[in-house]
Amino acid sequence: MALSSGVSAIRRVAIFGGTHGNELSGVFLVKHWLKHPGEIARPGVEVRPFITNPKAVEKCVRYIDTDLNRVFDSQSLRQNSAKVPYEIAQAQEINSIFGPRGSNDAYDVILDLHNTTSNMGATLILENSKDDFTIQMFHFIQKSLAPVPCSVLLIEHPKLKYATTRSIAKHAVGIEVGPQPQGVIRADILEKMRRILIHALDFMHHFNEGKEFPPCSIEVFKILEQTSYPRNKDGEPSAVIHPNLQDRDWTALNPGDPMFITMGGEVIPYQGENTVYPTFVNEAAYYEKDLAFVTTQKTTISAESLHCKSA
C-alpha cells in the first residue's frame, strides 16, 4: 500500500509581485487583486497579494541596490536594518510579516510571480524535491493547464541554490513565465500566469476540503551548472548565443551542437559529455551575472499520496 503524506490545512497564502520591479505581469496581477480580491478568495484561507519591492516597481527596474531574490539568507536577515541596502531592509520587513523563515509562524505557501525574457513558456520553480505537497500541486497545475506545456525547474543544488524571497514560506512556489521584455506587459503571458495562480489556489482549496491526491510523478529539469559567455582578453563578451540555441529553452543540447557564435562567424560548440537541457537562454537580467544560460538534467521525481490531516 502506498504511503500517504498528511499535511495541515493551508490557512495563509501570499502572492508576491514585483520581487523584480520590471517584471510586470506579477506587478499587474497583484495590484489588480489588491483592488479586486474576489478571484483569489478561497473559503477558510487568507490570500494576501503583496508588492515585495515597491521602490523598484515605482522605477520599473529589477532592483534598487541589490537583488531582492538573493538576500533571504540568515546573515542578511540578521543585519542592522539601519545600515543595509534597501533590498536587505525590505527582506527583513517581508520576513517579519510572512515569516520568520523556517518557523512554525511562517506563511504556509508563497507564490512568487516572475517574468523572463527567455522563451521558457510557463515554468514552475521547485526548491525541494522532497516536498510532496508542492510536487502534488505542480502535478495538478500541469494537468489543469494541459495541453499548454508547463515545465518544472528544480533548483536544488548545493552551490547554485540561493535564498529566494519565497523561501520564508513552508512551501515555496516560483512561477516564471516568458518570453516577455522587461518593463512590458503581454496579454498572453499575463493570462498564462493568471491561470497558473488560479489553478494553484484551486488545488489548495480541494486539499483543504478533504480531497485525497493519489501518488504522482512529474518530470523536472534539475539545475546542473551555469554557462558564461566567452570573453576576450579585455573581459568583454566575444560571442553571442547561436541562432540554433536562441529561443530553444528546454530543448536538448547535445555534445557538438552549436552554442555560441562570434562576430567573425566562428561557431563554438557545446563540449560537454552528456546531453543537457538549457533554460534561461539569453535572459536579459543575467547579463550582469555573466550568465548565458543554465544547463539542466531531465529527471523524474515522485510524491506520495496526499491528504489534509487537520481542518
CA angle (163, 292, 238) in 5-degree steps: 140
Among 23, 87, 127, 176, the one annotated catalytic: 176
d(CA 280, CA 248): 10
The residue length of the chain stands at 311
d(CA 135, CA 131): 6
**What is the DSSP pairing of strand 305-308 with strand 4-7?**
parallel
176 classed as catalytic: yes
Query: In the chain, where do the E strands start and end?
Result: 4-7, 12-17, 46-51, 109-115, 121-126, 150-154, 171-178, 216-227, 240-241, 258-261, 267-269, 277-279, 293-303, 305-308
Q: Among residues 27, 36, 288, 14, which one has the least CA distance to residue 180?
A: 27
Residue with cell 529561443: 247
121 strand-pairing partners: 178
241 strand-pairing partners: 260
Q: Which residues are catalytic, by number? A: 176
